[in-house]
Amino acid sequence: MKHLLWVLVLGIFMSCSVDEEPEPMVTAPIVSVEDIIVEEGNDNKFVFVRLVLNKQATELGTVYISSEDVTAEAGVDYVAFDNVPVVFEQDDLVKEYRIEIIGDIEEETNEIFNVKIESAEGLTIGDNSGTVTIQTDDNSSTGIVVPSTGYTTPENYAGMDLLWRDEFNGTSIDESKWNFEIGTGSNGWGNNELQYYRKENAFIIEDDYLVIDAKEEAFSGRQYTSTRMTTQGKFDFAFGRVDIRANLPTGQGIWPALWMLGANFSSVGWPSCGEIDIMEIIGSKPSTLHGTTHWSDDSNNYASYGGETTLPSGIFKDNFHVFSIVWDSSKIRWLLDDVEYHVIDISPSGLSEFRSPHFFIFNVAVGGNWPGSPNNTTEFPQQMIVDYIRVFK
């Protein structure tokens, strides 16, 4: 009897178990990030990274993505992003997110960064990281040859201290030291110059050299671009020695300059602030160097005084040279490769501008009153390459 009762109970239990089917398990779509390869280019560009689901979304889902440096550096090679939402709507399988790649013409190797899924709502995280490979195109596009020869100067002098320097090491220009002046200036920066100055035309190559790249390209109403950079408001000085080691461009209409303006330029204007041209050449005379001062005399009239020297052979584009001034309260002397070629007595009262601090300006102009315009003999691009600037007090 007891056995029969257990059989009945077991039968009822089994009957109930067979009738109740388990509910199917519903899993959220799995989201992952695809790897991509992009060509760097010389200018900034936008590309799209793809986030994909393994099946269509049945309801709204959101993933949050961030960038992560690997060998590429945020702010140098790409524009960073942090915890950005990407929304999948019903029936979506793929969503794209736009990222910005920073272009340059600096020689470097391929670099990578990751796009990481930080979290998800309504979706399951699969492969939570995709790789963006920035494929450099610089080796084939720069055409910049850094001379391996030329004059150099020491890092110290007896009786003088090293006050300020830039050796242009690293991968980017130190903006704690340098400003970039942008645009066409008033009346072509006062000289009827033809270029539009851009920050993008200056960069570091080989972790050791500043390049200012003058290019023939249409930009903002002009046919040429270049860079003009200054230390105004960041560094100025009076009395000491300045050494600038540089390699210079050439060609009709090309006008490189390494020079200084009085620190009071913004309040008194030019020429009352004073101007010291450490180095100027015009590309149609690529072996002749000019050193000049400009000022406002006692009668408030414009005045200038300059000297020049010519290389015994070759041109300034062939090798590096060191352009220097030695400046005290009574005179300024100009030197090329440690050989003096010009001097001015600044002790008279009418030259008081040159007994006050000045800041530095580096630029390559295209066209203007002095060099004239480029012609069909002018080759572009043209580069001024600076190895270092050192200031001694």
Which of 30, 27, 25, 47 lies closest to 88 in space, CA to CA?
Answer: 30
The alpha carbon of residue 294 and the mean position of all alpha carbons in its chain are separated, in whole angstroms, by 31
Active site (annotated) includes residue 175: no
Q: Give whole-number Cα distances, 125 to 62, 116, 164, in Å.
A: 11, 11, 52
Torsion of CA 105, 185, 334, 318, to 10 degrees: 30
Which sign does the torsion angle of CA 33, 35, 40, 46 carry? Answer: negative
- In the chain, alpha helices (H): 2-19, 265-268
Peptide bond into 271 cis (omega under 30): yes
- Annotated catalytic residue: which of 121, 275, 308, 340? 275
The type of residue at 294 is H
Q: Are strands 339-345 and 331-336 parallel, antiparallel or unpaired?
A: antiparallel
Residue 277 buriedness (CB in 10 A; 0-12 / 13-18 / 19+): buried
Which residue is associated with the tokens 């440096």?
69
- Annotated catalytic residue: which of 40, 200, 280, 353? 280
Active site (annotated) includes residue 275: yes
Strand partners, 124: 30
Give the span between the Cα atoms of 13 and 142, in whole angstroms. 82
Give the span between the Cα atoms of 260 and 279, in whole angstroms. 10
Give the span between the Cα atoms of 273 and 302, in whole angstroms. 11
Which residue is associated with the tokens 């001062």?
293
The CA-based diameter of the chain, rounded to the nearest angstrom, is: 134
**Residue 332: DSSP 8-state:** E
Active-site residue numbers?
A: 275, 280
